[in-house]
């Protein structure tokens, strides 16, 4: 039996996205696979990725089957990842009240399915998180904001959220780390993927050198600094005759492989 604050091993079904979307497994089969392979006991699910009709069409019958299955295979629901899709409309961004309601429905499903944590995304502002606190209290769900590269513990937006959390003083508001924000090198497997797409060794050496330079400088502490680095990768690709890879280099070089210290 684990106590409060005791770490446990777990897995996110996001790790099996390709297998799931290629229909090698349905949701029940994938949960059973996780249990059989010993990847648990902790279980995270991405709401919009794994749950058909999420969040509006999750009925009581599905909730009962899900909770029974998780109990049967002795997994522990740890986190339901929810989306902050502020740009879901074509004509405008969501306003504040629309965003709160959009999040409320997802947080409610997290509670019904037995997840104690809803992992929320970095696009939520301090004001939005404060408005969601009554929702978290109503459903008894902790809102753990994912610190995802290019952001990190000393980034201006994370510091603003930390200050607001300190002011509110609620145990239901916190952070969860995406360790991709604290890597120490550009992934060799990603470089190999670029080779298969025809990137030259010279170009890849320059990409790695640029990333290493940013790592030596330390992570960006402002959105402006991040934008400059993003643009630098795009420019590098264009100068080497591969503008088609520019956005890809920039996303991976600043957003998936972040140079924050461990």
3-state SS, one letter per residue, for 186-234: CCHHHHHHHHHCCCCHHHHHHHHHHHHHHHHHCCCCCHHHHHHHHHHHH
What is the pLDDT confidence band of residue 123, given thresholds at 50, 70 and 90? confident
Q: Which two tokens stand for residue 202?
A: 């010279």
User: Residue written as tokens 């740890």?
Assistant: 78
Euclidean distance between CA atoms 141 and 151, whole angstroms: 24
User: Residue written as tokens 């599905």?
Assistant: 62
Residue 142: strand pairing partners: 117
Query: Quick one: CA torsion of 71, 109, 78, 182, rounded to 10 degrees?
Result: 150
- Which one has a higher pLDDT value, 234 or 154? 234
- If one counts every other C-beta atom within 10 angstroms of the C-beta of residue 47, the result is 21
Euclidean distance between CA atoms 27 and 83, whole angstroms: 19
DSSP 241: T
Which among 198, 201, 257 is positioned nearest to 229, based on CA atoms?
257
Q: Return the half-sphere exposure (C-beta side, CA atoms, 13 A cut-off) of residue 153.
A: 7
- If one counts every other C-beta atom within 10 angstroms of the C-beta of residue 127, the result is 10
Check: CB of residue 25 under 8 Å from CB of residue 50: no
Q: What is the pTM of this model?
A: 0.89
What is the pLDDT confidence band of residue 3, given thresholds at 50, 70 and 90? low
Euclidean distance between CA atoms 87 and 69, whole angstroms: 35
What is the pLDDT confidence band of residue 214, given thresholds at 50, 70 and 90? very high
Residue 97 has what pLDDT?
A: 95
Check: CB of residue 156 under 8 Å from CB of residue 223: yes
Mean pLDDT across 123-131: 95
By annotation, the residues acting in catalysis are 148
What is the pLDDT confidence band of residue 260, given thresholds at 50, 70 and 90? confident
């Amino acid at each position: 039996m684990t106590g409060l604050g005791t770490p446990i091993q777990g897995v996110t079904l996001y790790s099996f996205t390709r297998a799931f979307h290629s229909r090698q497994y349905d949701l029940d089969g994938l949960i059973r696979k996780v249990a059989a392979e010993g990847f648990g006991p902790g279980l995270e699910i991405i709401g919009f990725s794994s749950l058909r009709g999420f969040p509006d069409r999750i009925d009581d019958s599905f909730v009962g089957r899900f909770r029974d299955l998780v109990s049967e295979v002795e997994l522990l629901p740890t986190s339901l990842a929810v989306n902050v899709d502020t740009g879901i409309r074509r004509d405008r961004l969501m306003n504040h009240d629309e965003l709160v309601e959009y999040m409320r429905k997802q947080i409610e499903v997290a509670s019904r399915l037995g997840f104690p944590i809803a992992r929320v995304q970095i696009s939520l502002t301090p004001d939005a998180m404060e408005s969601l606190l009554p929702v978290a209290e109503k459903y008894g769900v902790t809102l753990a904001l994912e610190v995802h590269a290019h952001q990190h513990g000393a980034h201006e937006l994370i510091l603003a959220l930390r200050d607001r959390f300190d002011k509110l003083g609620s145990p239901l508001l916190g952070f969860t780390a995406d360790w991709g924000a604290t890597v120490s090198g550009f992934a060799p497997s990603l470089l190999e993927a670029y080779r298969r797409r025809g990137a030259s060794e010279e170009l890849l050496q320059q990409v790695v050198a640029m990333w290493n330079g940013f790592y030596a400088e330390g992570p960006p502490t402002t959105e402006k600094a991040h934008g400059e680095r993003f643009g630098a990768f795009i420019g590098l690709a264009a100068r080497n005759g591969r503008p088609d890879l520019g956005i890809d280099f920039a996303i991976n070089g600043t957003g998936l492989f972040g140079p924050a210290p461990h």
